Structure 1
């Protein structure tokens, strides 16, 4: 079940400030406050989805397509020509905020995702 009080829901609603890098009617992207790479961006849909599986099951085709195309645009617009995308599903995978989101990581060859607990 989706928790409307999670930090990303509060960022999307404007209750909590964040450094926005991109925003449209369906997607928001912010700088990660604890970066695991020189470029570390969090991209999230504005809809209430807990994780990747919830998103692909419940989001419309238009929203799903827009989300993934927008990730590529955000990466390019922020100088990430080569990058890694990461989405976790569930606490044991490292997910700590249960609002679906994708990390864009760039600028380092050796991004140790385990130590950064993405």
Structure 2
């Protein structure tokens, strides 16, 4: 498999991690779209949200809990932040490994 996020998880590609446990890793995006731009990904390779199964429900809930924790640690929880999950090519997904973008640190435009 040639998944860049799987390579980050295994350590063959370096990243600036902000969180890691047995199921999830989070790191700074290398092309940030906001002052705070962190990716939260499961260690389990799931290509898109469409590939999530009922057995993944607890993992998906944990992704959101970790994103919330990161927003607090990064100091953007009170002022506000955006969580984004792109699905498929028309949804803007570039890396086919499920991930949440945690964006904040400035007034974000668009998407009301």
Aligned counterparts of 2:65 and 2:108: Cα–Cα separation in 1? 25
Listed as ranges, the matches of 1:91-110 within 5 Å are: 91-110=89-108
TM-score of the two chains, using structure 1 as the length reference: 0.84
- What RMSD in Å do the two structures reach over aligned CA positions? 1.6
CA contact (8 A) 1:37 1:111 kept: no
TM-score of the two chains, using structure 2 as the length reference: 0.88
Matching residue of 2:16 = 19
Aligned counterparts of 2:106 and 2:44: Cα–Cα separation in 1? 31
> Which stretches of structure 1, 4 residues or more, deviate above 4 A after TM superposition?
none
Unaligned runs of 5+ in 1: 114-118
Listed as ranges, the matches of 1:1-118 within 5 Å are: 4-55=1-52, 57=53, 59-81=55-77, 82-111=80-109
Q: Write out per-residue CA displacement over residues 6-25 of structure 1, whole angstroms, 9 at most, x where no aligned residue.
A: 11010001110000010000
Count of paired positions:
109
How far 1:110 sits from its partner (Å)?
Answer: 3.1
Unaligned runs of 5+ in 2: none
